[in-house]
Structure 1
Amino acid sequence: MSIGYACLAVGVINTELKNCIIKNASNDKLLALIDYNLKSLENMIDYNGRNNIKLFRISSSLIPFGSSEVNNLFWRDIFSDQLKKIGDKIRNSEMRVSMHPGQYTVLNSPKIDVVNRAIDDLNYHAQVLDSFGLNPAHKIVLHIGGVYNEKERAIRSFITNFNGLDEKVKQRVVLENDDKSYNITDVLEIGTCLNAPVVFDNLHHEINSNNQRKSDYDWIRECRKTWKKKDGVQKIHYSQQNLLKKPGSHSSTIRINEFLHFYEGLETKDIDIMLEVKDKNLSAIKCINCTTQQGKIKVLELEWRKYKYKILENSPLHYLEIRKLLRNKDQYPAIDFYNLLESALENEMSVGNSINAAQHIWGYFKDVASEKEKKLFLKSIEGYIEGKTSLKAIKNILWRMTVQYNEAYLLDSLYFAI
């Protein structure tokens, strides 16, 4: 089993992706952006490898305007060395990657120009995966599209247009149920007709079910039948509802007890689970650490280094409890550890606790900071107490100093990221 996340790494420096608007998309600009994004992707792949993350979704925006005539660069040739290097790293780490075109890639639209753009976009996604030298087990996830007041006709259009795709695209595409139009029964029927694998999304199914009395595990079993050996291990999408937002909104983090309940109910662990969650890699590592059979306390200690100042900011009481929990070096209390983290992060921050954490961070710089930096920090603290300065402004000051003085411990700290 592999557990992974999508597109962006939270709290990992030098992994952001950049884009631009059309009017600024000159060849020189696009070359610079592609180079930058490929370096960021390589850093994410390296990060995943260090953290035993074997499943990852690559952002569709990796190559800006990749499926548009705006980008007429032969980027596969220009960046062939970088692409090969990244592909080698993916294979050598036994990582499985995927891509997921966005909501405007609609293969069954009644408008031919929309369909043509969808085909171009699918070709682009396949080209990205091909450029890494990856086999067809590295997939492109696609929704069926719209209903357009006549669902059966829309399904026929999808099937017709899918059959017209290039074989290199078809061998990569997997179909996913959505939360509005096409439930898991619809997608299984379409997938079976097209001999295309089906990805089960639990939250989409919760919102858009077919009212049949089957469990998630029943549907996962049905979807497994659509996966052939050439497609690789069956893949599913797992997410949790954000309890404070509208149905279908992803949670800020994966609630570990809820995930473990789902995990324990799976018939087989020979399955890949893509998490769709706001804190992305953080939840992936959490779930990996709580399901591993050979956990070591050192792993949790490294996690604590990243979280500690954010937890101190939210809840000094939880901070002390976690420190106490990790004292016993012969145990591996991963579930208790992450439950405490979750509980602390749900706490509302107080001004006093926020200042306390900020002053702990300042402690790394107090002996090296210039007088100007000292005055700026102290003034920001005073302004925050008086309600004139935001906590974000204080953190921005501390982050600039973290980068300026290359304070490695803080560069990895989630204090600045969540």
Structure 2
Amino acid sequence: MAIGYACITIGVEGTKVSRCIIGNATLDNLRKITNNNLAALMAAIDYNIAKGIKLYRISSDIIPFGSHPVNKLLWWDEYGEKLLEIGQKIADSGMRVSMHPGQYTVLNSTKPEVVNNAVSDLIYHTKFLDALGVNESNKLILHIGGVYGDKEKSAEVFKSNYLKLPDNIKARMVIENDDKNYTLEDALCISRVLDIPVIFDNLHNKLNPSHEKLSEKEWIDICASTWKGKDGVQKIHYSQQKTGAAAGSHSETIYIEEFMEFYNNLNDKSIDIMLEVKDKNISCVKCINSTCDKTSIKDIEEEWAKYKYFVLSRSAKVYQEVRELLKDKKVMNIIEFYRKIELALHMPEDKGAEINAAQHVWGYLGKNCKEAEKRRFNRLIKDYTENGKGLKSIKSHLLKCAEAQNVEYLKNSYYFFI
């Protein structure tokens, strides 16, 4: 089994993808952004390899305006060597990647221009995966699209337009049930005609259930039959509903007890699980550590080093409870460790705890800071103490100081990112 995350790598230096508006999409600017984004992708891949993450969704924005006529670069040629280098690293590590065109890539639209743009977008995404040199198990995920007052007719339009696509696109494409229009039953009906793999999405299935009432593991097993050898291991999407938010909103983190209940109920533990969650790689590492037999005490201690100042900023009590939990070097209750982290995540902002954590971080930095940096920190703390505002400014200042001093221990702390 591989557990992965989508696009954004949180708290990892050099992984941020850049964008621009169409008015600034000059050839020079497009080249500058492409260079930056390919370096960012390489950094994300390196991070994934270091963390044992074998599943990753690549951002559609790596090539700016990749499917738009404004981008006249022959990027697949100009950056061909760099793309193949990245692709070789992906293949050598056993990682599997994917891409997921956005909501405006609608293959069954009633508007010809929308369909044409969708085909252009699919050509771009497929060309990018092809340029990496990765095999056909590295997929391109698409929703079926709109209903337009007649679901059966719209499904037929999707089938018709799919069959017109170039073979290299069809070789990579998979379809997914969505949260409003097309259920798993609908996707499976299309799959039977087109011989295309189906991705099971658990949250979409809850929000838009099929008429036939089957359990999640039964639906997953049915979807498994749509994945052939060339498609690679079956892949599913997993997410949790954000409490109090609009239906379909992804949670801030993957809550580990709920995930483990889902995981333990699977008939086939070899399938790949793509997490769709706001804290991205942070939840990914959590789920890998919680399901992997090889997770060590050292792995959890490394996790704690990243979480500790955030937990301290919410509750000194929970901070001490985690420290006590980690004292036993022979037996590690990984689920309990993450449960305590999640308890801290749910706690409201506490001014005293936040100041305490900030002062602890400053204790590592202050002695090597310039006088102007010290004055700024003291001023920010005073402002926050008196009016409760400016916490983000305090953290931003501390992170800048950590980066200036190249303190890896602090630069990698989740305190600055969650």
Partner of 1:144: 144
Question: How far apart in 2 are the matches of 1:295 and 1:24?
Answer: 47
For 2:135, what is the secondary structure of its paired residue?
Answer: coil
Partner of 1:131: 131
1:85 shift after superposition: 1.2
Residue by residue over 1:357-393, the C-alpha shift from the partner in whole angstroms, topping out at 9 and shown as x without a partner, is 0001111122111222111111111111111741011
Residue by residue over 1:8-59, the C-alpha shift from the partner in whole angstroms, topping out at 9 and shown as x without a partner, is 1111111110110000000000000000000001000000001110000001
1:294 shift after superposition: 2.1
Partner of 2:6: 6
Residue by residue over 1:213-265, the C-alpha shift from the partner in whole angstroms, topping out at 9 and shown as x without a partner, is 21111111111111100000000001111112111111111110011111011
Q: Does 1:34 align with 2:30?
A: no
Which one is further off, 342-351 or 166-175?
A: 342-351
Amino acid at match of 1:45: I
Partner of 1:20: 20
Question: How far apart in 2 are the matches of 1:20 and 1:141?
Answer: 25
1:211 shift after superposition: 3.2
TM-score (norm 2): 0.99
For 2:174, what is the secondary structure of its paired residue?
Answer: strand
TM-score (norm 1): 0.99
1:166 shift after superposition: 0.4
Partner of 1:55: 55
Q: Is residue 15–residue 43 contact of structure 1 (8 Å, CA) maintained in 2? A: yes
For 1:175, what is the secondary structure of its paired residue?
Answer: strand
Amino acid at match of 1:345: L
Amino acid at match of 1:75: W
1:404 shift after superposition: 1.1
Q: Is residue 5–residue 281 contact of structure 2 (8 Å, CA) maintained in 1? A: yes
1:89-100 residue pairs with structure 2 within 5 A? 89-100=89-100
Q: Is residue 177–residue 199 contact of structure 1 (8 Å, CA) maintained in 2? A: yes
Partner of 2:204: 204
Partner of 1:177: 177
Question: How far apart in 2 are the matches of 1:279 and 1:357?
Answer: 21
Partner of 1:256: 256
For 2:360, what is the secondary structure of its paired residue?
Answer: helix
Question: How far apart in 1 are the matches of 2:165 and 2:27?
Answer: 29
1:207 shift after superposition: 0.4
Amino acid at match of 2:6: A
Q: Is residue 351–residue 388 contact of structure 2 (8 Å, CA) maintained in 1? A: no
Partner of 1:73: 73
1:290 shift after superposition: 0.5
Amino acid at match of 2:363: G
Question: How far apart in 2 are the matches of 1:100 and 1:373?
Answer: 43
Question: How far apart in 1 are the matches of 2:211 and 2:112?
Answer: 34
For 1:219, what is the secondary structure of its paired residue?
Answer: helix
Unaligned runs of 5+ in 2: none
Which one is further off, 214-223 or 388-397?
A: 388-397
Structure 1 runs, 4 residues or longer, greater than 6 Å off: none
Q: Does 1:165 align with 2:157?
A: no
For 2:146, what is the secondary structure of its paired residue?
Answer: coil
Q: Is residue 251–residue 277 contact of structure 1 (8 Å, CA) maintained in 2? A: yes
Question: How far apart in 2 are the matches of 1:196 and 1:416?
Answer: 42
Amino acid at match of 1:245: A
Question: How far apart in 1 are the matches of 2:368 and 2:268?
Answer: 55
Amino acid at match of 1:378: N
Partner of 1:342: 342
Q: Is residue 315–residue 349 contact of structure 1 (8 Å, CA) maintained in 2? A: no
Q: Is residue 9–residue 280 contact of structure 1 (8 Å, CA) maintained in 2? A: yes
1:202 shift after superposition: 0.5
Partner of 1:243: 243
1:395 shift after superposition: 1.1
Partner of 1:195: 195
Partner of 2:297: 297
Question: How far apart in 2 are the matches of 1:159 and 1:280?
Answer: 33
Q: Is residue 183–residue 210 contact of structure 1 (8 Å, CA) maintained in 2? A: yes
Question: How far apart in 1 are the matches of 2:388 and 2:302?
Answer: 36
1:328 shift after superposition: 1.4
Q: Is residue 87–residue 133 contact of structure 1 (8 Å, CA) maintained in 2? A: yes
Partner of 1:402: 402
For 2:399, what is the secondary structure of its paired residue?
Answer: helix
Q: Is residue 67–residue 124 contact of structure 1 (8 Å, CA) maintained in 2? A: yes
Question: How far apart in 2 are the matches of 1:305 and 1:50?
Answer: 17
- Percent identity, aligned pairs only, is 50
The root-mean-square deviation of aligned C-alpha atoms, in Å, is 0.9
1:403 shift after superposition: 1.2
Q: Is residue 295–residue 332 contact of structure 1 (8 Å, CA) maintained in 2? A: no
Q: Is residue 48–residue 54 contact of structure 1 (8 Å, CA) maintained in 2? A: yes
Q: May I ask how many residue pairs the two structures share in their alignment? A: 418
Q: Is residue 178–residue 205 contact of structure 1 (8 Å, CA) maintained in 2? A: yes
Unaligned runs of 5+ in 1: none
For 1:236, what is the secondary structure of its paired residue?
Answer: strand
Question: How far apart in 1 are the matches of 2:172 and 2:370?
Answer: 56
Q: Does 1:221 align with 2:221?
A: yes
1:212 shift after superposition: 2.0
Amino acid at match of 2:146: G
Residue by residue over 1:387-414, the C-alpha shift from the partner in whole angstroms, topping out at 9 and shown as x without a partner, is 1741011111111111111111111011
Question: How far apart in 2 are the matches of 1:160 and 1:388?
Answer: 59
1:275 shift after superposition: 0.5
Question: How far apart in 1 are the matches of 2:221 and 2:383?
Answer: 58
Q: Is residue 380–residue 389 contact of structure 1 (8 Å, CA) maintained in 2? A: no
Partner of 2:412: 412
1:110 shift after superposition: 1.0
Question: How far apart in 2 are the matches of 1:389 and 1:321?
Answer: 29
Question: How far apart in 2 are the matches of 1:117 and 1:308?
Answer: 47
Partner of 1:122: 122
Which one is further off, 360-369 or 165-174?
A: 360-369
For 1:4, what is the secondary structure of its paired residue?
Answer: strand
Amino acid at match of 2:174: V
1:82 shift after superposition: 1.2
Partner of 2:44: 44
Amino acid at match of 1:287: C
Q: Does 1:379 align with 2:379?
A: yes
